[in-house]
């Protein structure tokens, strides 16, 4: 195989590996998006549950405050009855003072109950908002799963077709390239296993200058790995002097 033929074949392998990398990247992005949307839905559901739990606590607080307010009203009524039955002016003034204190306390308890009820109303609004977020997340997940069902077989077909091209190109590799090529693929992964010579002098992976004698060997079709990064080097066809 001539140096030019080797350059064409190595360039073809490099492009195929990059295409496979692109397909894998597309598949990874789809998976990440699915995981992200699923997590978003679970988070929205958890938020609804949390807000419902908070509402239940608020309702218990409302009941407690309403109970305290009712007891305060009863005490106030009892003090009023005692006032009407006072037997002396001193007793009358004492009970009247107690009524004033009980009245303030009753008003405070009633206000606290109203504040608690307001908190419940606010919790209801937050629950409705969270439920809408769940509906939105569910719709986005349904829509994406529909898209995923369409794209998955396309990706699979692209991968099978591209892998077939890769196997065909690999079968045409000269025997002297097989060991170095296989080792680089295992070490760096397909997409990073090969590196073109840039400007006829630099390694396309680590950008180190390749000695001229080695460049000439690569141009002639000899297998050679970069002494710095270890990638299998090749001369792009348009750069070949042959």
Q: For 203-218, what is the mean pLDDT?
A: 95
Query: Rounded to 5 degrees, what angle do the CA atoms 165, 170, 176 make?
Result: 165
pTM of the model: 0.74
Residues 167-198: tens digit of each pLDDT: 999 999 999 999 999 999 999 999 899 999 99
Residue with tokens 């405070």: 108
What's the rounded Cα separation, in Å, for the pair 47 and 113? 26
Write out pLDDT tens, residues 82-92. Answer: 878 878 888 88
Range of lowest pLDDT (21-30, 100-109, 139-148, 156-165): 100-109
pLDDT digits (tens, 9 = 90+) for 105-138: 777 877 888 888 889 999 999 999 999 999 999 9
Q: Which helix (H) or strand (E) holds 213?
A: helix 212-219
What pLDDT score does 124 carry?
93
pLDDT at 92: 80
User: How many helices (H) and strands (E) are present in the chain, helices listed first?
Assistant: 5, 3
Pairing of strands 202-203, 232-234: unpaired
Question: 19-171 has which CATH code?
Answer: 1.10.287.1490
172 is written with which tokens? 């045409």
Q: Are 198 and 147 in contact (CB under 8 A)?
A: no
Instruction: Delimit the domains of the chain by residue range.
Output: 19-171, 175-239
Looking at residue 240, what is its pLDDT? Answer: 40
Of residues 37 and 108, the one with the higher pLDDT is 37
* Torsion over CA: 177, 181, 184, 188 (sign): positive
């Amino acid at each position: 195989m001539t140096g030019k033929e080797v350059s064409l074949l190595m360039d073809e392998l490099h492009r195929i590996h990059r295409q496979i990398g692109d397909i894998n990247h597309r598949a990874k992005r789809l998976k990440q998006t699915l995981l992200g949307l699923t997590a978003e839905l679970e988070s929205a559901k958890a938020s609804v549950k949390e807000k419902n739990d908070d509402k239940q606590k608020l309702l218990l607080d409302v009941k407690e405050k309403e109970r305290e307010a009712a007891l305060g009203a009863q005490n106030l009524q009892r003090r009023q009855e005692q006032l009407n039955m006072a037997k002396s002016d001193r007793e009358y003034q004492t009970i009247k003072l107690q009524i004033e204190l009980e009245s303030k306390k009753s008003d405070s308890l009633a206000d606290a109950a109203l504040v608690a009820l307001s908190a419940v109303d606010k919790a209801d609004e937050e629950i409705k908002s969270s439920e809408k977020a769940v509906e939105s997340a569910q719709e986005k997940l349904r829509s994406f799963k529909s898209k995923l069902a369409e794209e998955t077989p396309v990706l699979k077909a692209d991968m099978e077709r591209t892998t077939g091209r890769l196997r065909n190109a690999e079968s045409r590799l000269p025997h002297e390239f097989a060991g170095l090529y296989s080792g680089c693929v295992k070490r760096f992964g397909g997409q990073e296993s090969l590196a073109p010579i840039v400007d006829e002098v630099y390694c396309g992976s680590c950008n180190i200058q390749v000695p001229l004698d080695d460049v000439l060997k690569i141009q002639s079709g000899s297998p050679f790995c970069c002494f710095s990064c270890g990638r299998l080097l090749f001369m792009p066809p348009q750069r070949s002097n042959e």
